[in-house]
Homo-oligomer: A and B are copies of this chain.
Amino acid sequence: MNKIDIFKKLRSSGLRPTKQRVEIAKFLFERDKTFHFTVESLDKLLSKKTTSKFALATIYNTVHAFKNAGHLSEVEVRGKKTYFDTNVTNHHHFYDSETSELIDIDENEIIIQKIPKAPNGKKIKNVEVFINLKN
Which residue numbers of A lie inside 8 Å of B, CB to CB?
Answer: 74, 76-78, 94, 96, 103, 105, 109-116, 118-119, 121-135
Contacts and interface: CB of A to CB of B under 8 A. Distances in A.
B126 A127 contact: no
A132 B77 CA distance: 15
B110 A116 contact: yes
- What is the total number of copies of this protein in its complex? 2
Main secondary structure of the interface of A (DSSP, over half): strand
Given A103-B119, A129-B130, 20 more contacts: A74-B78, A76-B77, A76-B78, A94-B122, A96-B119, A96-B122, A109-B114, A109-B116, A110-B114, A112-B129, A123-B134, A124-B133, A126-B132, A127-B132, A128-B129, A128-B130, A128-B131, A128-B132, A129-B129, A130-B130
B129 A133 contact: no
Contacts of A126: 131-132
